[in-house]
């Protein structure tokens, strides 16, 4: 039988445009990370890969400032790590409290509900954060087993302060789960100091690695609950009692690790260690400050109050009479610069600009400000 030739077969080599990715993610990978990705493969149980897995785990612990025993890159993007956290921490019928002040809080609600939790939404306007009194009153009402908060809300540009949340969680015997996708490697984070029980991230934001892995960390309290579960984690691929054996001492096959992505992540994390965490956080603050000052000079303002404004993601208010989609499109087609519009409550009201990892540099700020000025003056 002849093979069908009805499918389109591309004949041209792939030639991607040189975009500057200044949106909410992905951000541009560091050239050293791209080089690391192209190293030749080894097997997923090769002694050299096992050594690399150990290196990645300790680098992740450094960047998160945690000693959590299970600290590994989940195969998949940030959402896979988010789902791994939820699947392993939540049992059907558990009361779960989630802070919803943006799009990713909503995603956490959706995931926890799918795993059978009784979810309570604690809501606040998009672009604000929760204070301890608000969290306490919700905890009193729903007595949660898990409290989920988004440390860096990429849909709004707001940072959730975490000081004092652990004490509340201790009072209510509650696990603390934190989304650090847009803060890990760009914004101050002290997971152990803040008593965070579990956190997740993605490689494609401040880590400057392409999308494909989702760092996940689970502390002793989470592992204890995982052991005591009455039913297995309902998601086979993300069951950390199985995956943990591959990354831990047993090294038994569960699924094939994305080998080359792990090369990339290792290099991305090594770059952070080389720069130093504090210097890296400081660089993100300085670059963001330069951007905010430049916006103010152009008469533009930011949506989020400065004390909780993320250096990694800024929401810029769209001036009256300006079509935000058209501006973003012109920046992309004429300047090769990607920024994004608002989501949900902020749709049509803001642009979202990411200055993450490798991209957090003065020349990118100057270029974006000049381009934005040009496009807005038309
Ligand atoms: C990007 C992002 C995610 C999801 O990560 P993906 O890599 O898109 O799956 C989750 N939470 C926050 C805060 C994010 O910014």
Q: How far is the CA of 80 from the centre of ligand 1 (A)?
A: 9
- At residue 17, the pLDDT reads 97
- At residue 244, the pLDDT reads 84
Q: How many domains does the chain have?
A: 2
For the chain, percent of residues with pLDDT exceeding 70:
100
Atom of ligand 1 nearest to the CA of 214: 7
Pocket test for ligand 1, best of 106, 182, 184 (most atoms within 8 A of CB): 182
Please tell me whether residues 267 and 353 are part of one structural domain. Answer: no
Q: How far is the CA of 212 from the centre of ligand 1 (A)?
A: 11
The 8 Å CB, 24+ separation contacts for 105-110 are: 105/148, 105/149, 105/150, 105/153, 106/344, 107/79, 107/82, 108/82, 108/148, 108/150, 108/177, 108/179
Please tell me whether residues 155 and 176 are part of one structural domain. Answer: yes
Over residues 317-362, the pLDDT tens digits come to 999 999 999 999 999 999 999 999 999 999 999 999 999 999 999 9
Please tell me whether residues 182 and 129 are part of one structural domain. Answer: yes
Q: What is the mean pLDDT of residues 231-257?
A: 91
Please tell me whether residues 79 and 146 are part of one structural domain. Answer: yes
- At residue 96, the pLDDT reads 98
Atom of ligand 1 nearest to the CA of 79: 9
> Does residue 194 lie within any of the structural domains?
yes
* Residue from 166, 170, 168, 145 nearest 90 by CA: 145
Q: How far is the CA of 7 from the centre of ligand 1 (A)?
A: 33
- Cβ neighbours of residue 6 closer than 8 Å, sequence gap 6 or more: none
Please tell me whether residues 316 and 253 are part of one structural domain. Answer: no
CATH of the domain at 226: 3.40.640.10
Q: How far is the CA of 25 from the centre of ligand 1 (A)?
A: 8
Please tell me whether residues 267 and 137 are part of one structural domain. Answer: yes
- At residue 246, the pLDDT reads 85
Over residues 19-69, the pLDDT tens digits come to 999 999 999 999 999 999 999 999 999 999 999 999 999 999 999 999 999
249 band by pLDDT with thresholds 50, 70 and 90: confident
Q: How far is the CA of 78 from the centre of ligand 1 (A)?
A: 5
Look at ligand 1, atom 2, and give the residue with the nearest C-alpha: 181
Q: What is the mean pLDDT of residues 69-77?
A: 96
Q: How far is the CA of 50 from the centre of ligand 1 (A)?
A: 28
Does the pLDDT of residue 283 top 90, yes or no?
yes
Q: How far is the CA of 363 from the centre of ligand 1 (A)?
A: 26
Q: How far is the CA of 5 from the centre of ligand 1 (A)?
A: 39
> What does the mean pLDDT of the chain come to?
97
Q: How far is the CA of 195 from the centre of ligand 1 (A)?
A: 22
- At residue 119, the pLDDT reads 98
- At residue 248, the pLDDT reads 87
Q: What is the mean pLDDT of residues 235-246?
A: 91
Please tell me whether residues 202 and 291 are part of one structural domain. Answer: no
Crossing angle of helices 220-228 and 78-89, in 10° steps, is: 60
Residue 173 class from Cβ within 10 Å (0-12 exposed, 13-18 middle, 19+ buried)? exposed
Q: How far is the CA of 79 from the centre of ligand 1 (A)?
A: 6
Decide which of 249, 273, 297 is a domain's last residue. Answer: 273
Please tell me whether residues 304 and 260 are part of one structural domain. Answer: no
Atom of ligand 1 nearest to the CA of 313: 15
Atom of ligand 1 nearest to the CA of 150: 13
> Does residue 11 lie within any of the structural domains?
no
- At residue 342, the pLDDT reads 97
CATH of the domain at 319: 3.90.1150.10
Decide which of 273, 293, 315 is a domain's last residue. Answer: 273
Q: Which domain holds residue 40?
A: 31-273
- At residue 245, the pLDDT reads 85
Instruction: Give the pocket of ligand 1 (CB within 6 Å).
Output: 25, 77-79, 82, 104, 150, 152, 154, 179, 181-182, 202, 204, 211
Please tell me whether residues 112 and 134 are part of one structural domain. Answer: yes
Round to whole Å and give the CA distance between 214 and 201.
5
- At residue 243, the pLDDT reads 87
Atom of ligand 1 nearest to the CA of 153: 13
Please tell me whether residues 89 and 209 are part of one structural domain. Answer: yes
Look at ligand 1, atom 14, and give the residue with the nearest C-alpha: 181
> Does residue 5 lie within any of the structural domains?
no
274 band by pLDDT with thresholds 50, 70 and 90: very high
Please provide the size of the chain in residues. Answer: 378
Q: What is the mean pLDDT of residues 264-282?
A: 98
DSSP state of 236: S
Over residues 130-187, the pLDDT tens digits come to 999 999 999 999 999 999 999 999 999 999 999 999 999 999 999 999 999 999 999 9
161-170 exposure pattern, b = at least 16 Cβ within 10 A, e = fewer:
ebeebbebbe
Please tell me whether residues 247 and 330 are part of one structural domain. Answer: no
Pocket test for ligand 1, best of 158, 181, 312 (most atoms within 8 A of CB): 181
Look at ligand 1, atom 15, and give the residue with the nearest C-alpha: 154
Round to whole Å and give the CA distance between 181 and 154.
8
Rounded to two decimals, what is the model's pTM?
0.97
Decide which of 250, 273, 296 is a domain's last residue. Answer: 273
Strands 198-200 and 20-21: unpaired
91 φ, ψ to 5°? -115, 150
Q: Is 266 helix (H, G, I), strand (E, B) or coil?
A: helix
């Amino acid at each position: 039988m002849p093979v069908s030739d009805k499918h389109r077969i591309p004949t041209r080599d792939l030639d991607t445009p040189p975009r500057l990715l200044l949106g909410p993610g992905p951000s541009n990978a560091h050239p050293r990370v791209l080089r690391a990705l192209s190293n030749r493969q080894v097997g997923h149980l090769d002694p050299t890969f096992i050594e690399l897995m150990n290196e990645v785990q300790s680098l992740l612990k450094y960047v998160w400032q945690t000693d959590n025993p299970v600290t590994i890159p989940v195969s998949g993007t940030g959402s896979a790590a988010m789902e791994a956290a939820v699947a392993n921490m939540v049992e059907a019928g558990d009361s779960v409290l989630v802070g919803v002040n943006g799009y990713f809080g909503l995603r956490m609600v959706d995931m926890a509900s799918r795993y059978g939790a009784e979810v309570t939404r604690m809501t606040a306007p998009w672009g604000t954060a929760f204070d301890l009194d608000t969290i306490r009153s919700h905890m009193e009402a729903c007595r949660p087993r898990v409290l989920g908060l988004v440390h860096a809300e990429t849909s709004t540009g707001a940072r959730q302060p975490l000081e004092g949340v652990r004490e509340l969680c201790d009072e209510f015997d509650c696990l603390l789960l934190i989304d650090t996708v847009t803060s890990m490697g760009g914004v101050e984070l002290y997971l152990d100091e803040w008593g965070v029980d579990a956190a997740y991230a993605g490689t494609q934001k401040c880590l400057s690695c392409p999308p494909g892995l989702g760092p996940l960390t689970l502390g002793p309290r989470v592992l204890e609950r995982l052991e005591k579960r009455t039913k297995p984690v309902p998601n086979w691929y993300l069951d950390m009692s199985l995956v943990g054996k591959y990354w831990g001492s047993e090294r038994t096959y569960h699924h094939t690790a994305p080998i080359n992505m792990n090369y990339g992540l290792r290099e991305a994390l090594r770059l952070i260690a080389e720069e130093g965490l504090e210097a890296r956080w400081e660089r993100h603050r300085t670059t963001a400050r330069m951007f905010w000052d430049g916006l103010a000079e152009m008469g533009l303002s930011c949506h989020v109050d400065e004390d909780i404004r993320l250096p990694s993601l800024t929401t810029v208010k769209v001036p009256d009479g300006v079509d935000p989609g058209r501006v973003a499109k012109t920046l992309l087609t004429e300047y090769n610069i990607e920024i994004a519009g608002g989501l949900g409550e902020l749709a049509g009201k803001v642009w979202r600009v990411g200055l993450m990892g490798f991209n957090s540099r003065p020349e990118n700020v100057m270029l974006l400000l000049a381009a934005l000025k040009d496009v807005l003056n038309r």
